[in-house]
Amino acid sequence: NGMDAQLHWVEGARTGSEASADDGWGVPGWQEHFDKAIDVRGSYNAFELNKMQVYVTNITATIARLDSFGYSYRTRLSMAAGTEIRLAHLGVKLAGRIWEFVGRAPKDLSKDFQFWLPDECPSAHEVHVDIQNLEERMKAHSHSNSSVWISTTIATANLESKGLQELFNDSTTLTNAKHQIHEGAKCTVHSLSWNGAGAHVRGIRYVEPHGRDQDEIGEVSDYEQYITTAHKRYLTQPLEDQDKYRWRNWDNWLDQHFGVQYNITGGNCERMNSKVRKRLIEEKLPLAQRAGMGQGDHYYVGYPNSSVTFEYNTLDCYHGVGVTNVCMCDLENSDLLYVELNGNATASATCPEMDDEGLSIAWD
């Protein structure tokens, strides 16, 4: 119906995420760092670019609800792309990330709201949605008092890195993504968007904020490099020297992903599945493959220099080799650890005991 999208919050502390043993960081350490670095009532920080934008039809009601629960939020204004529609932005910090509500700004909006400042990269926050059409669709689908995801933004230190270039090329080749580039005075934005039949435009934006303080940009780079190293530690060593085993492990950073689902069935699905798998394996990318009943194959790719994993979901068909389960509770999801503990690769359909050593295996 053009409105389908899912947002998940995942807590997977029992899967590995440290770049080196006992380095004190991993997902928990970085989340704690972001909680300290981001102050939505204070100075803007480059890590606030790591956010999800959701559209609401009544921003006044959203403000009142946030206030009633005691949330702090950053207030900003923008103009919807190509229109005279003024939009209000509310940036709320949750688990070290930004959840941003966007909606039409009423005339009586507080004077605390100001337009995005030049060094905050206004183009990274611009809404490229047909507002009138989206509101009508939300009302028709009984979502008029709810929210609809419209964009995910990701901070990066280097848009020209090999890993991101591979991501941009793969997404356009394998998913028909529309790749656009905006060069600004204070930042560069690469956007990937999809606009299916009857759908509003939505997608992801990688933003290089070169107008920010160099220490901030350095931290963004450190974050990307840390995740790249963690992916190598957990995902790049096969159980056997065969391609079919290369996707069997997992790390907690893979739960931080953006997914594209193919709307194809039958032979077309099988051909696309084979095409996706072949390309990803040939590129020797950090990769984990999962499957679920009636959900097809899910290929999670940890592209180097990207803090967010890209997921290719073939929906209705399976490659049929080395299939693992989507459920993290299934030890087959960490096949390498399962072999280490049990001596064989037989799948377990039950959740592991709480006293095991974790759900991922490191190769150092």
Domains of the chain in start order, with CATH, are: 10-220 (3.10.180.10), 221-342 (no CATH)
The pLDDT score that the predictor gives to residue 147 is: 86
pLDDT at residue 260, rounded to an integer: 86
Q: What token pair was written down for 25?
A: 């960081």
Contact 95, 9 (CB under 8 A): yes
Q: What is the phi/psi pair of residue 323, to 5°?
A: -65, 135
Mean pLDDT, the chain cut into blocks of 10 residues (364 residues total): 63 82 92 95 95 94 96 97 96 95 93 93 93 88 76 95 97 93 92 70 88 86 96 77 66 90 78 87 85 76 95 78 57 57 51 43 52
Q: Is 22 exposed, middle or buried (0-12, 13-18, 19+ CB in 10 A)?
A: exposed
| R_g (Cα) of the chain, nearest Å | 21
Handedness of CA 156, 158, 162, 164 (dihedral sign): positive
**How far apart are the C-alpha atoms of 51 and 63, rounded to whole Å?**
18
**What residues pair up with 151 in beta bridges, in sequence order?**
53, 203
**pLDDT in the model for residue 131:** 92
Provide the whole-model pTM. 0.87
Q: What is the pLDDT of residue 226?
A: 98
User: What pLDDT score was predicted for residue 354?
Assistant: 38
Encode burial over 335-357: b for 16+ CB neighbours within 10 A, e otherwise: bbbbbeeeeeeeeeeeebeeeee
User: Are 254 and 288 spatial neighbours (Cβ–Cβ below 8 Å)?
Assistant: yes
